[in-house]
Copies of this chain bind each other. A is one copy, B any other.
């Protein structure tokens, strides 16, 4: 097979436009170095996908762009330096921001950011996890510096608990023994956050400070912000405990009043899952370990699946639907696409 199917675009268009994604054919890429060639069996759509599709210059691209980060599939070839995987291994990964994406039948990916997919999960279940799993895991255990034990008296506030990252973050934080306060605003997102294990759910459209106080909590030890840092900054600086730690995954749009944290000498960190592969850091291989750890947690039935919408074929039509789902801004859990048409 020389040509493979893919879903791409050559113009940054609104998702309502039928041209916003197109079914295309591309050459099969070749694996060299640390690269695996993966047969992609499932993909999922994250907010980053819609951001990249919408953003960018208005003129037509010289060749179609293929995005997509989450992937589950099987290794069909490997570069000469590969040591972690063999042909036939079923893998999952969230990819590299700078490379051609997973919305293609075959994709190249550096083995150091790939893990073994959990054997007890279907493609639909598995592919919902890598990007949000890496983000949640790195946020909690690298950026907030949380240990896996000894958190009985520690509280984590997750702002936007029912989205993809929130769904995994609630579960991981509960496994680590933290008390979790998550925010959600609609009946079904509140139920979802509770199902994921949140001890308390409060409403992010109302004042967070008074709602947290109502739980007999003045300060929280950690805050994971997953939505609109600008809107929540004042509440975050009031609620974080002295010496506390804040991590955020969403880009903000305004300048930030850092002075609000001075007296508390609090710490603020960004989490960007792509950072390690983007800068080719020495710690890049940690994503292999994290994905394998998440896999083991699923095998041990310690984590619940998080996909809520599933499209049975990966093609331009379904990709437009999945992007439209994410663009509502009110996704609960994740949307996934699996299988290619014969």
State the CA gap A15–B127 with chains docked (Å).
Answer: 67
Q: A256-B258, A275-B243, A281-B242 are known contacts. Are A268 and B269 too (CB-CB below 8 A)? A: yes
Given A264-B275, A265-B143, A269-B267, check contact A251 B255 (CB 8 Å).
Answer: no
Residue of B nearest to A138 (CB): B265
A276 to B241 alpha-carbon distance, docked (Å): 11
Write out, one digit per residue, whether chain A residues 238-262 have a CB within 8 A of any chain B CB (1) or not (0).
Answer: 0000110000000110111111011
Asked if residues B263 and A275 are in contact (CB atoms below 8 Å), the reply is yes
Q: How far is the CB of A132 from chain B (nearest CB, A)?
A: 16
Residues in B neighbouring A268, C-beta threshold 8 A: 258, 267-269
Most chain-B Cβ atoms within 10 A of its Cβ — which of A242, A265, A274?
Answer: A265
* Interface pairs (15), CB distance under 8 Å: A138-B265, A143-B267, A229-B258, A243-B275, A243-B283, A251-B259, A258-B270, A263-B272, A263-B275, A264-B270, A265-B272, A265-B275, A267-B269, A267-B270, A268-B269
Known interface pairs A255-B257, A281-B243. Does A271 touch B265 (Cβ–Cβ under 8 Å)? Answer: yes
Total residues of chain A contacting the partner, CB 8 A = 33
Chain B positions within 8 Å of A242 at CB level: 275-276, 278-279, 281
Query: Footprint of B on A, CB under 8 Å?
Result: 138, 143, 145, 229, 242-243, 251-252, 254-259, 261-272, 274-276, 278-279, 281, 283
Q: How far is the CB of A244 from chain B (nearest CB, A)?
A: 10
A279 to B269, CA, bound (A): 22
Do residues A262 and B266 form an inter-chain contact, with CB atoms below 8 A? no
CA distance A271 to B267 in the complex (A): 9
Closest 10 CB pairs of A and B: A255-B255, A242-B279, A267-B269, A265-B275, A265-B270, A265-B272, A256-B258, A262-B270, A268-B268, A256-B256
A48 to chain B, nearest CB (A): 12
10 further A-B contacts with Cβ under 8 Å, apart from A256-B257, A263-B274, A265-B270, are A145-B145, A243-B276, A252-B259, A254-B255, A256-B258, A258-B270, A264-B272, A265-B275, A267-B270, A268-B269
Cα separation A258 to B268 with both chains bound (whole Å): 10
- Contact A264 B252, CB 8 Å, known A258-B270, A270-B258: no
